[in-house]
Every structure is written in structure tokens, then in C-alpha cells.
Amino acid sequence: MKGKKELIREAAVKVIAQEGFYNTKIFKIAEEAGVAVGTIYNYFDSKDQILEYIFNVEFTKRINLLEELKNKKMSIKKKLKIFIEKHFKEIKENLDTAQILVREKEFPKSSEFSAILNYLNEIPLLMEDMLDKAVKNGEIKNQNTAITAGLIFGALQGVVEKALRTNDIKLLDAADQEVIRFIEEGV
């Protein structure tokens, strides 16, 4: 059984995806979740904290996957392939969440919004670490791994943004394989 905090998060995802963060009202989230407004304040101090929590859940999923892959005995290309496939699978299964990750990532980047900053900064850093190890092991050629990690993360974000902003969700069907092909073969 889902806890109330998760129920509120899911309702918030749906409402924020439809209305946008700034237009979303707490009472709409409560209505969608089937709880009283006061119940939301038992779990979150503000709408900002709800958005922070949404990003934190997504950040944690991806970091856990990257950490798991980092320690596996497989090639960097295989690790990236698994990560990219699972990332796009998650996006396709949760388009409302994807909409929030794309649109609301520009939310004010003050220190109190660490989950948003973590999502945007820590994922590429972990990819960079994996790439550094692959360079060190001679698995891939010497390169600026910070740029390579940024390119990979940017490609993932860019494809999702393109699909959502143009309402061409079918782009996501081939996205994982195209990004992987680009990594493996180049242009």
C-alpha cells in the first residue's frame, strides 16, 4: 500500500505537469490525491518542497542505477547502454514526470533546492567518474570525460525535451537506440 507522501507526490506530478509549477495550487494537489490540504502540510512545508521531493525521487532512481552499474564488471559501453535504456523506459512510462523534469528544472537554483541541482549536476559527475575509470583501464581513448559525460547527459535531456515540446512522443521509442548508436559510432 502506498504511503500518503507517495500519494501526494504522484498527485503533484499529475497536477504540476498539467498546470505548471507556478500555476499549481496546493488545494488542487490535495484534491487530486484525495486528501485534505492540511494532510499535505503534514509532509511538506510548501509547494517548493513538493517539487524538490519529485526531483529527489527521480535523482535517487538514476543515481542508484549508476552506482549499481559503476561496480559491475562490464564494459563502459554496456553500462551506458543499460543506463540509457532504463532512463528512456522510465521517461516513457512516466510522461508527466518527464514534463516536470524538463520544464521545472529551471526553477530557482538556490541552495535550498538541492535535489534539482543534484539531478542536473551529480548524474553527469557519476558518468564522468565511470568514463575516467574506462580511460584509465584503456577501455576507451583518452578524452575530456567531463565534456563526454555532459554530452551524454545533454543528449538524454535534449531528446526528451524535443519529444515533449513538439508533442512527438514517438521520438522516445527509438531514442535509447539512437543515443547508444551515437555513443558507439559517432556521427
**Which helix or strand (DSSP H or E) is residue 117 part of?**
helix 114-136
State residue 44 phi and psi, 5-degree precision. -135, 140
Identical fold between 1-44 and 47-185 = no
pLDDT value at 110 more than 70: no
Percentage of residues in the chain with pLDDT exceeding 90?
Answer: 80
Burial 74-90 (b: 16+ CB within 10 A, else e): eebeebbbbbbeebbee
pLDDT in tens, 40-85: 999 999 999 999 899 899 989 999 999 999 989 999 999 999 999 9
CA angle (101, 107, 110) in 5-degree steps: 125
- Check residue 24 and report its DSSP letter: -
User: In angstroms, rounded to a whole number, what is the distance separating the alpha carbons of residues 157 and 176?
Assistant: 12
User: In angstroms, rounded to a whole number, what is the distance separating the alpha carbons of residues 60 and 29?
Assistant: 23
The reply to whether CATH 3.10.20.600 applies to domain 1-44 is: no
Q: How many CB atoms lie within 10 A of CB 29?
A: 25
pLDDT in tens, 153-174: 999 999 999 999 999 999 999 9
pLDDT in tens, 2-19: 799 999 999 999 999 999
Domain extents in the chain: 1-44, 47-185
pLDDT of the residue at 186: 78
Quote the longest CA-to-CA distance of the chain: 58
The reply to whether CATH 1.10.357.10 applies to domain 47-185 is: yes
pLDDT of the residue at 112: 61
Q: Are 66 and 123 in contact (CB under 8 A)?
A: yes
How distant is the alpha carbon of residue 140 from its chain centre? 26
Q: Average pLDDT, stretch 142-146?
A: 96
Q: Which residue has the higher pLDDT, 109 or 32?
A: 32
User: In angstroms, rounded to a whole number, what is the distance separating the alpha carbons of residues 127 and 113?
Assistant: 22
User: In angstroms, rounded to a whole number, what is the distance separating the alpha carbons of residues 56 and 66?
Assistant: 15
How distant is the alpha carbon of residue 178 from its chain centre? 19
Q: Average pLDDT, stretch 137-155?
A: 95
